[in-house]
């Protein structure tokens, strides 16, 4: 809670992106949830196709990093 109470200090890096505290809090909560949902969907969709699953997860990680 202290992390989010001082979001301007702990969550926001204005040299990277100048957003408000509420937006930063929502993004910091939503990203792990969305990542988990995509991961679970890929696991179910590509069950039994280990190499394809590995490639898809790698592509998702790269895409998430670039976004």
The full DSSP string for 33-54 is HHHHHHHHHHHHHTTT-HHHHH
- Structure confidence at residue 10 (pLDDT): 64
Tell me how many domains the chain contains.
1
**Structural domain boundaries, residue 13:** 2-66
Rounded to whole angstroms, the Cα distance separating 52 from 29 reads 29
Euclidean distance between the first and the last CA atom of the chain, given in angstroms as a whole number: 26
pLDDT-derived band at 12, boundaries 50, 70, 90: confident
Q: Quote the pLDDT of residue 14.
A: 76
């Amino acid at each position: 809670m202290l992390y989010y109470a001082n979001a301007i200090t702990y969550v926001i890096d204005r040299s990277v992106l100048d957003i408000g505290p509420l937006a930063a809090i929502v993004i910091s909560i939503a990203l792990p949830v969305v990542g988990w949902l995509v991961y679970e969907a890929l696991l179910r969709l590509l069950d039994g196709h280990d190499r394809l699953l590995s490639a898809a997860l790698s592509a998702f990680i790269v895409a998430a990093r670039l976004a």
